[in-house]
Structure 1
Amino acid sequence: MKKLLLTLSLSCFWLLSFAQLKVEIYGVISDSQTGETLIGANIVVENTGGGTTTDLDGKFQLSLEPGTYNITASYLGYESYTRSNFLVQSQGNSDLNIELNAAGTLLDNVEITASPFARSLESPLSLQKLSPEELKTYPGGNNDIAKVVQSLPGISGSIGGFRNDIIIRGGAPNENVYYLDGIEIPNINHFSTQGSAGGPAGLLNVSFIEGVELSASSFGAKYDNPLSGVLQFDQRSGNKRKFQTNFRVSASEAAATIEGPLFKGDKEESNTTFLFSLRRSYLQLLFQLIGLPIRPSYWDYQYKFDHKIDEYNSLIFTGIGAIDDFTLKAPDDFTPEQQATLEQVPLIEQYSVSTGLIWKRRRQDGKGIYNTAFSFNRLRNQFSGYEDNENQVGLNYQTFSRETEFKLRPTYTHFINNWSISTGFNVISSKYTNKTQNFLQDINYEAGINFVKYGLFVQAAKANIWDRLDFTVGIRSDANTFTEESNQLLKTLSPRAGVSVRLDKNDSWRWNATVGSYYKIAPYTILGFQDNSGNLLNKDAKYINSIHFVTGLAHYPYPSLKFSVEGFYKLYNNYPISIKDGVSLANQGGDFSILGDEDIISSGKGRTYGGEFLVQQKLFKGIYAILAYTYFHSEFADITGEFKPSAWDSRHLLSFTGGWKFGNNYELSVRSRLVGQTPYAPVDLERTLDEYPLTILDYDQLGANNLEPFYQTDIRFDKKWNAKMFALNLYFEVQNVFGQAVPTPPSYGLDRNEIGEIILPSSLILLPESQGIVLPSIGIVLDF
């Protein structure tokens, strides 16, 4: 009897703890340009009949049951906006801060339906945004933001999809720039390829991110060095009222995030908040259990401090860092594939850090905003290969390099009569050192360069010209104190312009067009390369130039549904070409080597062109989806001037991501990707045998061979529970549901007997192709 009563008591306690709760959600409604809060703005929660208005400080409070909502904010004289797919939990909620765009003066008598698709005056085309929920529940993404971005139109990974290289419309992986709350960060991946980008695992913690904005053309003039894409990661602020903890365990890592107010005292809200996270991978343990020789291991951390000085001034201090260690361990049983991995895969030790301080000052008359960012970043990279990689005996090659930058970026934006005029400059102190020993190719040098990069820009935008037209125009120029073109600002003048035209009175049809010229300085690995006598060989490297022509049409038949079609044409000039291999470096950077550590000439040309189609359904009756298709050509000239298909010329990119949220906090999501036949350069067997374990590619044959199309489908199933003291999300995920083999170029290893001894005279044998693997996993996310 006592046992029965105890069981009933525990059951009642359990049921009561998961009974329907009311959760308080806080937020602010403000002007997107000036940052001024809007008093009396309306907030409506879709399909609930609930809502509220902002108080004298522009703040609001909603009492909602746990679930997913579409929440609309509106204000007289402003375009309404709907925050789609906003998740409310019993614990771990973020504030709902919405910025509204001012509407045209003659639009007062026209009803514009609230839309969840935000637009930008600076980038009217090729702009995509992802919300926190779209990032966190992405199937197959494993909470990796770089993988999630690949669901957008025109974006693909490197060959086979293993790495997180972000290849936009056929451009190389190093043609993109990344910003975290306005602080430029060199890379967003662990085990990054120096001189390029990418890596197998993302660096950013998804628990920090408020949203991701990707521009594939029409880059704002404030950004230096983009040729193909700008990714802006916006972080949320820590909780102003109480301390919260988020703990996440996934297939490859464990992460803990804490946040809360500082110096709160007896106040309801603090003016100072913090976010801090620490992540640890355990891929090395999983690979050990299944008998693979690779042992990737990493730690990373991320933090953000917000401080509101007064009504018009605020500070943000933010940063990320990582420690990466890639080693090898021989398995118990010998196979030719694993032996080749032990011999050919390099050992990598990396340390990276990026940190910055941002001061935002808003004019009291509401006519302008000052933004000053000071940041520091460093990458320390050791890249090694040994005759015995496992025990690190018999050095074959090693590069130890360090990149260090200090950056100052002040900008001022002035608002007058629907005009937004921004101006500013940037100064970057750069230091690069490199000590390279390569006994296989007779390379031995130690280099060090120290110089300054700088640039300035101005951009103007006007909205609602004739109540129909948005227009932007800008120009920037960049120079440096190192290359032979140094201090010649007129050589890098980069104008850009864009228009967006409303084609009907309800703004359901828009025509957009942009044109722009953009410049990028060569990577430090190129600028700092020396010969064995200590001569800098690439001081004549030119700024790489890319000219974009883009036009498109967008249609919004319903508030939550978008159709768009775009055509694009990109021209490249001054692209670095390898003197050794005779190939454009636009074809490299998607592996675990170092890009650009060689003699080059800046005479390369290239072009990519094609079209994109997108259908996106924001959350409606529990359904959300993105269907994107891109058809394109990507080709670059070699040292003879002959155009050849690039290593990214897949021609076809098709992706679908969608999900269904149904009763009792269940969610089912699916991702499918198809990448067309990708060209590859075959192995030069004679040179590879001479320089083994280095693999030498025959770039003369690039484009003569293609991989089979790459196809993969991932599914994910989520279930959420909300108790008074915690919120729990348990998910089950299956990657590569149909067991499709990942297409990879043919690889070779030394011919050996059954016990692993080299058969003399030595020769190379073709290794077996990898088989498709179905990867099930589970994950846990706990907020308390």
Structure 2
Amino acid sequence: MLKFRLVLVFSFIALFSFAQKGKIDGIVLDAVSKEPVPFANVVVAGTQIGASTDIDGKFTIKEVPFGYQKLEVSVVGYERKITNDVYVTQNQSPYIEINLNKTSTQLKEVTITSSAFDKPAESPVSLQTIGVEEIERNPGSNRDVSRVIQSLPGVTSTPSFRNDILIRGGAPNENQFYIDGVETPVINHFQTQGSSGGPVGILNANLLQKVNLYTGAFPSNRGGALSSVLEIEQKEGNKEALHLRGNIGASEVGLAVDGPIGEKTTYNISARQSYLQFLFQALRLPFLPTFNDGQFKIKHKFNEKNQITFVGLGAIDQFRLNESVNDGLDPNDPDDAETIEENNYTLGNIPINEQYNYTIGAVYKHFEENSFQTVVVSRNALNNSAYKYQDNDESDPSKKILDYNSTESENKMRFENTIRKNSWKVNMGVNLENARYTNSTFDRIATPQGSITRNFESDLTVNKYGIFGQISRPVLNARLDLSFGFRLDGNDYNSEMQNPLNQFSPRFSASYSLTDRWSINFNTGRYHQLPAYTALGFSNSDGTLINKERLKYIQSDHVVAGVQYNPDSKTKITVEGFYKFYRQYPFSLSDSISLANLGADFGVIGNGPIASTNKGRAYGAEFLIQRKAKKGLFGILSYTYVRSEFQDVNGDYVPSSWDAKHILTLTAGKKFKNNWQVGLKWRFVGGLPYTPYDVQASALKENWNVRGAGLPDYSRLNERRLSNFQQLDLRVDKTWYFKKWSLNLYFDIQNAYNFKAEQQDNFNVEQNANGEPVTDPNDPSRYELYRIDNEAGTVLPTLGVIFDI
């Protein structure tokens, strides 16, 4: 019956749709000087539909098929280029600015061809690019960038519902994010402080244009990354008319509006409201999250040589417990009894958490004949609060377990000068930053010896500074691209960090073109990252920063080498090997564990006594076949073999929590006639290591009363391993184009064959008939515990709607 109704709805809508074609307007400019490029040939990729630019570099292409299209641009003296996706409908005629780079003054012996894949001289390896259509229609990702990139090589996915980005065996705190050039520390709702993951992304796909993921070979103007840099490019607003896009997805409803403000300014603004709390309540889950977020981009052109862009991103996250979750359940029914047991366990250990965060920034660019200057000014802030009472009894102050409130704020300025002359490319600049961190903590913590209490307040201000440069040039008749870069970073936290020479970070890249299709690529570099503010600002009860003389920048040395083969302009095949060696990694003195093993759980990472004494290594190989949409078929097949090891308390290397060994992902899609599209994503990840619980320490009454969960036995760090994880996601899209609007309906199924992923077993306390905890008959200081099997995975179908007006 449901199938019949869906077919009826789709057929009814089809009666009002019609086949028609639209147009694309745009301008072709020199990437450096911003001078118009006349008489360039611009065609819709894969077709004969096109136009030439006029004397002012402008063009109009008519009779363009509806949907996502790419443009291919060629003109003498410039590199051929394939653009990002643009979306064409009856009511939306996109305006696209295409920037071309001049060709080398030397003539290449190999043929110059356009490609849908970027390979800059600074990063000839470990760079993957995904366009807006791949973001919009990636199966099982709910249009969330953090989930979409799990299709790419080196990215570990987990069976949990979190968005932790785990790259080549690195921890989730080792990543940096940029939106239109503005550094953006927080991109997830309910983010783990001191790390980067959370359950749902903040970025709205309605505003996104392209994403670059660097898993190595980071450009020198992107500091603070150890495992990856994620560069996000947003769409510009429509220059001609108001445009609206709305969506209803798996967890939220959203609306985006873009259009012109006069002749020189465009805007693109979005807002989203979640309805997860209603869904979770209907599913009888013990917690009810709510989130709201907003995002904007405003671009103003003073003239052809000067422009400024304003960007912003913010979120408000609220979380409460569903204490009536078990109402109406029958404890004598086996299924209900299992649900009650799981709900009570969660209610016993999860705190109530609220967050808000924002990033705002301005990017000013001035263009000259052979150079352009960029000034970026921004501010970001995160407020994180959480509290918990034993038995969730807020009426009794003596039962308070946790009362945490912390803020992080940063004011940043970065200046860059980019010069392109003849075959040389030079980028150099400086960055300055003022950061403030405050923390008020009352926390009762479980330890193998019993519970302890941390009660302190801290207020930390840190001033940071850096200088960077990168120079690139082709040689050997432009067959060999060479690039050398460096960074110097420092701050006034302590004397070790104050000297930027201690954080000297050189890097070198080379790419040799064997033919027009084959190339050999290499990069090596040293990268530094400041430890989290939670570690920098941890203090004792009198406000003394006890980690101040023990912390240093984290250091990571990378070596990456590989081969790339491009059978055609839309297909890429790569093989890469990588090695990363870590020094000065933060090590918890209270838990005797490297922080490299933490970060993929809720809470706070690094809020304790820490020393920069740990070492680690990650190494492996990657294989990738990526095909952009060609004849309706597109896909990514990637395999990564990775090993990740960090020292334990004895200085021995043991597998880290991200030692997946094998990561295999297949993402594929096919476009059919009448605007139908189907896609699938299948993932296989080797079982991750985990640390077993210390059952005796967990059972201590004073520990269980404050933790409500098992206590890891870090003397047995990661000595066990979960079973392998796999998952199949499916998606079907159908789009209708009407006279004034368009409609996209999609049906998405996560975990289509209901794979049950093994998780670490939990423990809970036995209760008597009155619901009171049972004391161990052999030890009155302990409760009697029992084991709870723990699995993750269920079929999650979603019917989504996207409309454009």
TM-score range, shorter chain: over 0.9
Cα 1:390–1:65 shift into 2, 3 Å:
farther
User: Is residue 104–residue 422 contact of structure 2 (8 Å, CA) maintained in 1?
Assistant: no
- Picking from 591, 597, 605, the partner of 2:607 is 597
The change in CA–CA distance for 1:413 and 1:85 in structure 2 (over 3 A counts) is: closer
Q: Pick from 550, 553, 556: which aligns with 1:546?
A: 556
2:731 maps to 1:716: yes
Listed one character per residue, the Cα deviations across residues 102-155 of structure 1 (whole Å, up to 9, x for unaligned) are 323343785433221122122111000000000000100001111001111001
1:467 to 478, 483, 503: 478
**Whole-angstrom distance in 2 between the partners of 1:701 and 1:255:** 46
| Cα pair distance change 1:246/1:503, threshold 3 Å | same
1:391 deviates by: 5.8
Contact 1:317/1:356 (<8 A) preserved: yes
Q: What is the rounded CA distance, in whole Å, between the counterparts of 1:32 and 1:169 in structure 2? A: 33
Alignment of 1:209-224 (within 5 A): 209-224=208-223
Matched, 1:521 2:526: no
Measured after TM superposition, the shift of residue 582 of structure 1 is 1.0
Q: Secondary structure at the match of 2:148?
A: helix
User: 1:660–1:464: structure 2 CA closer, same or farther, 3 Å change rule?
Assistant: farther
Q: Which residue of 1 aligns with 2:195?
A: 196
The 2-side partners of 1:125 and 1:250 are apart by 35
Is the deviation greater in 126-135 or in 741-750?
Answer: 741-750
The aligned runs of 1:341-352 (5 Å cut-off) are: 341-352=346-357
Q: How does 1:225-624 map to 2 (within 5 A)?
A: 225-262=224-261, 264=262, 270-330=263-323, 331=325, 332=327, 333=329, 335-363=340-368, 366-389=369-392, 394-440=399-445, 441-463=452-474, 465-504=476-515, 507-540=516-549, 541-624=551-634
Partner of 2:668: 658
Deviations 1:456-476 (A, max 9, x none): 111111135422011110111
One-letter identity of the residue aligned with 2:285: L
Identity %: 39
Q: CA deviation at 1:748?
A: 1.5
Say if 2:33 and 2:305, in contact at 8 Å, map to a contact too: no
2:8 maps to none
8 A Cα contact 1:579 1:600, kept in partner: yes
Task: Report what 1:267 is aligned to.
Answer: none
1:551-596 deviation per Cα after TM superposition (whole angstroms, max 9, x unaligned): 0000011222111000000000000111111111000011002000
Determine if contact 2:68/2:133 at 8 Å carries over to the other structure: no
- Is 2:48 the counterpart of 1:49? yes
Decide whether aligned partners of structure 1 residues 451 and 772 sit closer, same or farther in structure 2, where only a CA change above 3 A counts. closer
Give, in angstroms, the shift of residue 620 of structure 1: 1.2
Alpha-carbon distance in structure 2 between the residues aligned to 1:47 and 1:747: 55
**Residues 274, 604 of structure 1: CA spacing in aligned structure 2 closer, same or farther, 3 A cutoff?**
same
Could you say which residue in structure 1 is the equivalent of 2:71?
Answer: 71
Report the Cα distance in structure 2 between the residues aligned to 1:680 and 1:34, rounded to whole angstroms: 54
Is the Cα contact below 8 Å between 1:92 and 1:245 reproduced in 2? no
Distance in 1 of aligned mates of 2:277 and 2:119: 43
Aligned equivalent of 2:89: 89
Distance 1:326 1:171 in 2: 29
3-state SS of paired residue (1:752): coil
Cα offset for 1:438? 1.4
Shift of 1:272: 0.5
Task: Report the equivalent of 1:21.
Answer: 20
Could you tell me whether the CA contact under 8 Å between 1:575 and 1:602 is conserved in 2? yes
CA contact (8 A) 2:108 2:477 kept: no
Q: Deviations over 1:527-573 (max 9, x none)?
A: 00012233211112001000000000000112221110000000000
Q: Deviations over 1:36-82 (max 9, x none)?
A: 43221111224542110112332221121314444311111222122
Contact kept, 8 Å, 1:84 with 1:618, in 2: the verdict is: no
Structure 1 residue aligned with 2:796:
775
Residues 104-115 of structure 1: matches in 2 within 5 Å?
104-107=104-107, 111-115=111-115
AA at the equivalent of 2:149:
V
Contact 1:573 1:604 in 2 (8 A): yes
Change (3 A) 1:276 1:413: same
Given that 1:131 and 1:212 are in contact with CA atoms closer than 8 Å, whether structure 2 keeps it comes out as yes
SS in 2 for 1:324: strand
Distance 1:16 1:715, change over 3 A: closer
Q: For residues 170-228 of structure 1, what are the alpha-carbon distances to aligned partners after superposition, in whole Å with 9 as ceiling and x for unaligned?
A: 00101010001111011210000001110000010111111000111111111111111
Q: Which residue of structure 1 aligns with residue 60 of structure 2?
A: 61
Mean alpha-carbon deviation: is it higher for 482-491 or for 756-765? 756-765
Q: Is the 8 A contact 1:271 1:308 kept in 2?
A: yes
**Does the 8 Å contact 1:484/1:539 carry over to 2?**
no
Instruction: Report deviation, 1:21.
Output: 2.1
Give secondary structure in 2 for the equivalent of 1:700.
Answer: helix
Q: Displacement of 1:525 after TM fit?
A: 0.2
Shift of residue 317, structure 1, vs aligned partner? 0.8
Matched position secondary structure for 2:749: strand
CA distance in 2, matches of 1:392, 1:217: 52
**1:30 partnered with 2:35:** no
SS in 1 for 2:37: coil
Structure 1 residues 779 and 468: alpha-carbon distance in aligned structure 2, compared to 1, 3 A threshold: same
Q: Which runs of 5+ in 2 are unaligned?
A: 1-10, 332-339, 446-451, 777-782
Structure 1 residues 184 and 719, CA gap change in structure 2 (3 angstroms) = same
In 1, the alpha carbon distance for the partners of 2:99 and 2:312 equals 25
Letter of the 2:348 partner, please give it.
E
Q: Does 1:680 align with 2:690?
A: yes
Does the CA contact (< 8 Å) of 1:17 and 1:724 recur in 2? no
- Which residue type is aligned with residue 354 of structure 2? E
**CA, structure 1 residues 392+548, in 2 after alignment: closer, same or farther (shift >3 Å)?**
farther
Give CA-to-partner distance per residue, 1:265-312, whole Å, 9 cap, x none.
xxxxx2101111110111110010111111111000001111001110
One-letter amino acid of the counterpart of residue 466, structure 2: G
Closer/same/farther in 2, CA of residues 642 and 439 from structure 1, 3 Å limit: same
**SS of the residue 1:309 aligns to:** strand
Q: Which residue of 2 aligns with 1:726?
A: 741
TM-score by length of 2: 0.92
Q: Secondary structure at the match of 2:159?
A: helix
Report the aligned-residue RMSD. Answer: 2.0
SS in 2 for 1:336: helix
1:5 paired residue number: none
